Amino acid sequence: MNIDETDKPFAEASEPYLVFGAPLIGEEEIAEVETCLRSGWLGTGPRVAQFERDFASYKGVGEQQVAAVNSCTAALHVSMIAAGLDPGSEVITTPLTFCATINAIIHAGLTPILADIDPVTMNIDPAAIEDAITPRTRAILPVHFAGRPCDMAAIMAIARKYDLIVIEDCAHAIEAEYHGRKMGTFGDFGCFSFYATKNVVTGEGGMIVGRDETHIARARILALHGMSKDAWHRYSDTGYRHYQVVEAGFKYNMMDMQAALGIHQLARAEANRTQRERIWQHYMETFVDLPVQLPAGFEPGTRHALHLFTMLIDESCGGIGRNAFIEAMHGSGIGTGVHYLSVPEHTYYRERFGWKPEQWPEAMRVGRKTASLPLSPALSDGDVERIVAHTKTILRPTLPRTVARSGRP
By annotation, the residues acting in catalysis are 198
Q: Which is nearer to ligand PLP, 102 or 388 (CB)?
A: 102
Kindly tell me which residue out of 67, 82, 100, 128 binds ligand PLP, with binding defined by CB under 6 A.
100
**Rule CB under 6 A: is residue 199 a binding residue for ligand PLP?**
no
Number of shown-chain residues binding ligand PLP (CB under 6 A): 14
Kindly tell me which residue out of 193, 275, 302, 336 binds ligand PLP, with binding defined by CB under 6 A.
193
Task: Let me know: does 336 contact 326? Beta carbons within 8 Å.
Answer: yes
Q: What length does the chain have? A: 409
Kindly tell me which residue out of 81, 114, 143, 183 binds ligand PLP, with binding defined by CB under 6 A.
143
Binding mask 27-66 for ligand PLP (x = CB under 6 A): ----------------------------------------
Which residues in 151-177 are b (16+ Cβ under 10 Å) and which e? bbeebbebbeeeebbbbbbbbbbbbbb
Task: Give the E-state strand segments of 269-402 in sequence order.
Answer: 292-293, 302-303, 309-313, 370-373
Bridge partners of 177?
182, 303
Longest pairwise C-alpha distance within the chain: 72
Kindly tell me which residue out of 140, 171, 224, 254 binds ligand PLP, with binding defined by CB under 6 A.
171
Residue 194 CA: distances (Å) to CA of 152, 163, 245: 23, 31, 28
Task: Please identify, among the stretches 6-14, 117-125, 167-175, 310-318, the one whose residues bind ligand PLP according to the rule CB under 6 A.
Answer: 167-175
**Rule CB under 6 A: is residue 142 a binding residue for ligand PLP?**
no
DSSP assignment of 54-83 = HHHHHHT--GGGEEEES-HHHHHHHHHHHT
Query: Smallest distance, Å, CB 197 to ligand PLP?
Result: 8
**Rule CB under 6 A: is residue 72 a binding residue for ligand PLP?**
yes
Query: Smallest distance, Å, CB 112 to ligand PLP?
Result: 13
CA dihedral 344, 347, 348, 354 (to 10 degrees): 60
Q: Which is nearer to ligand PLP, 308 or 388 (CB)?
A: 308
DSSP assignment of 306-336 = ---EEEEE-HHHHSS-HHHHHHHHHHTTB--
**Rule CB under 6 A: is residue 259 a binding residue for ligand PLP?**
no
**Rule CB under 6 A: is residue 260 a binding residue for ligand PLP?**
no
Site residues for ligand PLP, 349-388, by CB under 6 A, read none
180: left (phi over 0), alpha (psi -120 to 50) or beta: left
Q: Which is nearer to ligand PLP, 169 or 256 (CB)?
A: 169
Q: Which amino acid is at 76?
A: L
Task: Let me know: does 219 contact 208? Beta carbons within 8 Å.
Answer: yes
Tell me the pairing of strands 165-169 and 292-293: unpaired
Q: Which is nearer to ligand PLP, 249 or 337 (CB)?
A: 337
Kindly tell me which residue out of 195, 232, 349, 355 binds ligand PLP, with binding defined by CB under 6 A.
195
Q: Which is nearer to ligand PLP, 147 or 333 (CB)?
A: 147
What are φ and ψ of residue 268, in 5° steps? -105, 10
**Rule CB under 6 A: is residue 98 a binding residue for ligand PLP?**
yes
Binding mask 282-311 for ligand PLP (x = CB under 6 A): ------------------------------
Binding site for ligand PLP (CB under 6 A): 71-73, 97-98, 100-101, 143, 169, 171-172, 193, 195, 206
